[in-house]
Amino acid sequence: IRNAWSKLPRVVRDLSNAFGKRVNVRMDGADTELDKTILEAIKDPLTHIVRNAVDHGIESPQERVDAGKPAEGTLWLRAFHEGGQVNVEIRDDGGGINLERVKQKALSNAMATPEQLAAMNDRELTNLILLPGFSTAQKVTNVSGRGVGMDVVKTNVEKIGGTLEIQSVFGRGTTLRIKIPLTLAIVPALVVTCEGDRYAIPQVSLLELVRLDGGRARREIELVHNVPAYRLRGRLLPLLYLDEELGLRAKRTAREHGEEESVNIVVLQAEDRQFGLVVNQINDTQEIVVKPLSQQLKGISTYAGATIMGDGSVSLILDVNGLAAHGHVLTEQHDYSQHADGSLSGDTHFKQTTWLLVDPGDGSHAAIRLASVERLEEFSGEQVEMAAGRQVVQYRGQIMPLIALNGGGYYPEGEGDVLQVVVYAKDDQCVGIIVGRILDVVDESNMLDDCAHRGSKTRVISGRVTTLINLEDVVLNSMHILSDIFTVSCA
């Protein structure tokens, strides 16, 4: 879409100079790909919307300053794929649409009766500006006020099967959103196989790919409240099995989760959540031409469209947000905007802290601030060596001493025994803290001075009495042991 946007900054600059305004243009998603036919069809509507935004929407510098805004207005252009559609947004931080003026214009042009206007909500009143011949401009200029405007934009968008939405807050700005079905849209996609059929996943939602062999899958895929989850770099990732979500097989039992020879996980982003989609096979990536679904299938939220593959077969395109909603990954909507300025309402003595929960090796629970953890590592028993009478491992070009969090040492229980280590780093020197098990990563509200001083405390986290551990304190208490090892390392 960059080709359609390329001339808009100059259009804005010329109009700003002509009207004595200051406008900054910001673009996001310029690499969003569209079919050339669609691209050509939306060029004129985009230009008209941008001209209207500069002329009608954004105020003069003095008016903005009087209203408590920066003297320079901002015009945002954003494009992205979502829910089987191409979304193009044009947003300004200007004065918004004056609905009282809209009512007066509608009455004077006999477009609506007083009774009809009284029954309309704000959204319906705003949509009146899309009627033919409607203009709220107070004077006719070369840019606007001639009554030929948004109705033409709406008509051009609808010709390609799209829709035009308007949202406006008086005094704060206006957003116009063009939604175009992915007809003939070109989307890079990952092709996967499930139960013998191929499916395409738009790469815009793809984060990474993970493959686990049978042994790792049995060890690392856990059931949390009967929901399968995989611990990816210390973070629990809910898993959805594509064959189950599409109704191709019944839900797996706890025993069946450990029977797969290998597990292919596609890590996806749906809104503000991440989840893993388990598929039978990961094939390759390719650019696909998206065809819309027929009317009978549009109600199925898990599909965004279809595409014809190179061999002539038809593959369905998965809707990542629809899959996440179907699998109950998207269960709550969080509004972070109220804290956008970094302030918290109410008691300002609380903040959110991320904790790493571990079992020190004695069956109890301990919590370590995740911010103090350098890495989480696993070592085999064969990698543990002795230096200066203490256990060490060779780690990233240095000798890393090991300290058991429970106060004891590491003693292998058998062949294949794996050592769980929390790595703490300070002054370019790493120290490994041995724990029995890595349990979870949780976000908890805590007092600002909680665990800030030296020493440990206890509190209830996730329903368990948990000891708060300060890693720096653990290392400082062991310095008389570590000094000999550091000397050996330097030698």
Over residues 50-88, the pLDDT tens digits come to: 988 888 889 999 999 998 899 999 999 999 887 667 889
Which residue pairs, CB below 8 angstroms and at least 24 apart, start in 35-38? 35/183, 35/184, 35/185, 35/186, 35/289, 37/160, 37/184, 38/86, 38/160, 38/180, 38/183, 38/184, 38/185
Task: Dump pLDDT digits (tens) for 101-131.
Answer: 888 888 888 888 888 888 888 888 888 888 8
- 135 band by pLDDT with thresholds 50, 70 and 90: low
For residues 227-241, average pLDDT: 85
Averaged confidence pLDDT in the chain: 79
What local confidence, expressed as pLDDT, does residue 268 receive?
92
Pairwise CA distance, residues 53 & 359, whole Å: 59
First-residue to last-residue Cα distance in the chain: 60
**Tokens standing for residue 121:** 């909500």
Q: Look at residue 491 and tell me whether its pLDDT is greater than 50.
A: no
What domains sit in the chain, N to C, each tagged with a CATH number?
2-181 (3.30.565.10), 186-326 (2.40.50.180), 350-490 (2.40.50.180)
Across 214-228, 266-280, 325-339, least confident range: 325-339
- Strongest mean pLDDT among 75-89, 179-193, 347-361: 75-89
- Which comes out higher in pLDDT, residue 132 or 276? 276
Check pLDDT > 60 for residue 488.
no
- The answer to whether residue 148 scores a pLDDT higher than 50 is no
**Of 130, 109, 106, 129, nearest in space to 118 by CA:** 106
Q: For 441-462, how does the pLDDT look when each residue is reduced to its tens digit (9 = 90+)?
A: 777 654 333 443 334 477 877 7
Over residues 364-381, mean pLDDT = 86
The predicted pLDDT at position 120 comes to 85
Sequence-ordered list of residues with C-beta below 8 angstroms from that of 263, at least 6 positions apart, any chain: 211, 212, 217, 221, 278
Instruction: Please state, in angstroms and rounded to a whole number, the distance separating the CA atoms of residues 375 and 368.
Output: 12
Mean pLDDT of 132-158: 65
pLDDT at 225 exceeding the cut of 70: yes
Flag whether pLDDT at 343 surpasses 70.
no
Checking if the pLDDT of 389 tops 60, the result is yes
pLDDT tens digits along 474-486: 888 776 555 555 5
- Residue 200 near residue 189, CB atoms below 8 Å: yes
pLDDT reading at 193 higher than 90: yes
Residue 350 pLDDT greater than 50, yes or no:
no
Is residue 246 scored above 80 in pLDDT?
Answer: yes
Averaged over 226-246, what is the pLDDT? 86
pLDDT number for residue 183: 56
Q: Is the pLDDT of residue 39 over 50?
A: yes
Q: How confident is the model at residue 289 (pLDDT cuts 50, 70, 90)?
A: confident
**pLDDT for position 304:** 83
Whole-number pLDDT of residue 112 = 83
Per-residue pLDDT, 136: 58
pTM of the model: 0.41
Q: Is residue 421 a contact partner of residue 435, using CB atoms and an 8 Å limit?
A: yes
CA distance 80 to 32: 6
Q: What percent of the chain has pLDDT over 90?
A: 16
**Mean pLDDT in residue range 387-406:** 85
Question: Tokens standing for 391?
Answer: 């256990």
